[in-house]
Amino acid sequence: MHEIKLDDLKDARLLTQAVLQITQMLGMYQAELARILGLQCNDIGEMASARQVLSPDSPAWRRARQFVVLYERLYRHFAGDGVAIYHWLRTEQAQLAASPFLAMVDAGRLDDVVGCFESGPMRNLHDDGKTRP
């Protein structure tokens, strides 16, 4: 894993490339990214082939930016530990009543997953999904 910052993504091509890289680093499929962004699998394939980029005025653009924010927060919280990040995404979290991965992909709750890092309990959240003092 390596750090990616939203502030460094100045144009559509950079944001598109970053979202695809994050998807790979998080062990996700392109079809799962399509569901998170509200796009078709074909759109993600076109982006992966560098034939298409995210459109700045689209709902997918906003979701892509949120996806990068989530990655930034995961990277910072878990000090870039890919195993801990992967585990947290796939372990049920009390504040979501689901795993963050399923909340994003199946229920469209990307904002709620990002919100886990804005609430108090996340400061003490460990990779097993439990909070401690």
Q: Tell me: pLDDT of 1 over 60.
A: yes
Domain boundaries along the sequence of the chain: 6-124
Exposed/middle/buried for 22, CB within 10 Å: 0-12, 13-18, 19+?
buried
Model confidence over 11-64: pLDDT tens digits? Answer: 999 999 999 999 999 999 999 999 999 999 999 999 999 999 999 999 999 999
In whole angstroms, give the CA distance from residue 47 to residue 60.
13
Model confidence over 95-120: pLDDT tens digits? Answer: 899 999 999 999 999 999 999 887 65
Beta-ladder partners of 125 = 131
First-to-final CA distance of the chain: 28
Does the pTM of the predicted model rise above 0.75?
yes
Let me know the angle formed at the C-alpha of 2 by 121 and 118, rounded to the nearest 5 degrees: 20
